[in-house]
Amino acid sequence: MLSVVHHPAYRAEIPEGHRFPMGKYSALARVLLREGIVREGGFIEPDVASFDLVTAAHAPDYVQAVFDANLSREAERRIGLPMTPSVSLRARAATAGTLLAARLALANGIACNTAGGSHHAARDYGAGFCTFNDVAVAAAVLLAEGAVDRILVVDCDVHQGDGTAFIFENDPRVFTFSMHGEKNYPVRRAASDLDIDLPDRMEDEDYLAVLEDTLPGLLSRTRPDLVFYNAGVDPHRDDRLGRLALTDEGLARRDAYVIETCLRQGRPVTGVIGGGYDHDVERLARRHAHLHRAAAAAIRRPGR
Ligand SMILES: [Zn+2]
């Protein structure tokens, strides 16, 4: 079975009608159970991240302010979520979840979180619905432990992974790759190790061709001990914030392609869900489940 990390605290309490689709985390867990990707009682639950863990990639003052649910109005506005104890706990749970999924990926070849991919969070601030950069924390912890020497971040969320790029801009051990809508948030970009800007309304075939032209060479060149794959579903044509025009089939093919290509080269993969914005939370959860379906199919393949 695929290892899937989930924590009930991923779904924080925020005001009814808030534009962030918080319900998608619990809805995704239900989809995975319904489809038999995870057995009843089969989710792996992390302990929420400690202060020391989160400071592997974030400034202590910022981490403390989030832990205390005591951010300035301006810092809160930049994140776009009210920094309550529930939202603070969610950030700690998701961060621990991605680290746990990464450890499971190192052991089993692949593992997924049902949250994560908070790629706009930088060292001393959060932004764009991202409080702690879970992938950056997990990468920094595993590097510090000596569990891995080289990491590749493959960020296919439709927005640039600016926070991750900022955090690792001077760290040659982490290669950051982001492919995203050229006209999308954030306006002020960081420099990833590789950025690919995609034009508005790009469709499946063109999108997949870019990925197929890029990923195999990138894996051979960087030879990562671990890949973090941000499978944001906001490139979907119906996404409220996306600007691209992928179909569900296109997203499913993308996820299968990334996972298979990494595994074929012997590179373990940690899947995180990234962004996705749809008023219909159930439909959105089914869309995020493409990642877990692809990962479950990969693990069932003979020889693994
Ligand atoms: Zn996004």
Give residue 221's Cα distance to chain centre.
Answer: 23
Per-residue pLDDT at 112:
98
Average pLDDT estimate for 270-298: 97
Per-residue pLDDT at 214:
98
User: 55 C-alpha to center of ligand 1: Å?
Assistant: 24
User: 273 C-alpha to center of ligand 1: Å?
Assistant: 10
Q: Residue 242 above 80 pLDDT?
A: yes
- C-alpha distances in angstroms, 83 versus 51, 162, 249? 17, 21, 36
Residue 243 near residue 200 (C-beta atoms within 8 A): yes
Which amino acid makes up residue 206?
D
User: 287 C-alpha to center of ligand 1: Å?
Assistant: 14
Residue 84 near residue 12 (C-beta atoms within 8 A): yes
Residue 129 near residue 275 (C-beta atoms within 8 A): yes
Q: How many residues does the chain have?
A: 304
Q: What is the mean pLDDT of the chain?
A: 97
User: How buried is 33 (Cβ within 10 angstroms: 0-12 exposed, 13-18 middle, 19+ buried)?
Assistant: middle
Residue 116 near residue 98 (C-beta atoms within 8 A): yes
Q: Residue 248 above 80 pLDDT?
A: yes
Give residue 27's Cα distance to chain centre.
Answer: 17
Give tens-digit pLDDT for 67-92: 999 999 999 999 999 999 999 999 99
Give tens-digit pLDDT for 98-111: 999 999 999 999 99
User: 158 C-alpha to center of ligand 1: Å?
Assistant: 5
Average pLDDT estimate for 137-141: 98
Give tens-digit pLDDT for 154-181: 999 999 999 999 999 999 999 999 999 9
Average pLDDT estimate for 190-202: 97
Per-residue pLDDT at 302:
72
Give tens-digit pLDDT for 12-38: 999 988 999 999 999 999 999 999 999
Per-residue pLDDT at 301:
83
Is 279 among the catalytic positions? no
Q: Is the pTM of this model over 0.85?
A: yes
Which two structure tokens, joined as six digits, stand for 301?
């393949």
Candidates 6, 119, 120, 292; catalytic one: 120
Average pLDDT estimate for 233-254: 96
Per-residue pLDDT at 187:
85
Per-residue pLDDT at 177:
98
Number of domains in the chain: 1
User: 184 C-alpha to center of ligand 1: Å?
Assistant: 9
Give tens-digit pLDDT for 201-226: 999 999 999 999 999 999 999 999 99
Which two structure tokens, joined as six digits, stand for 254?
């993308």
CATH code for the domain in which residue 188 is found: 3.40.800.20
User: 263 C-alpha to center of ligand 1: Å?
Assistant: 25
**Containing domain of residue 40, as a range?**
3-300
Identify which of 163, 170, 14 has the alpha carbon closest to the alpha carbon of residue 87.
14
User: 76 C-alpha to center of ligand 1: Å?
Assistant: 18
Per-residue pLDDT at 204:
98
User: 241 C-alpha to center of ligand 1: Å?
Assistant: 8
Q: Residue 304 above 70 pLDDT?
A: no
**Radius of gyration, alpha carbons of the chain:** 17
Q: How far apart are CA 270 and CA 255, in angstroms?
A: 12
Average pLDDT estimate for 172-201: 95
Residue 229 near residue 208 (C-beta atoms within 8 A): no
Which two structure tokens, joined as six digits, stand for 42?
């089969």
User: 146 C-alpha to center of ligand 1: Å?
Assistant: 31
User: 42 C-alpha to center of ligand 1: Å?
Assistant: 28
Band (pLDDT 50/70/90 cuts) for residue 303 is: low
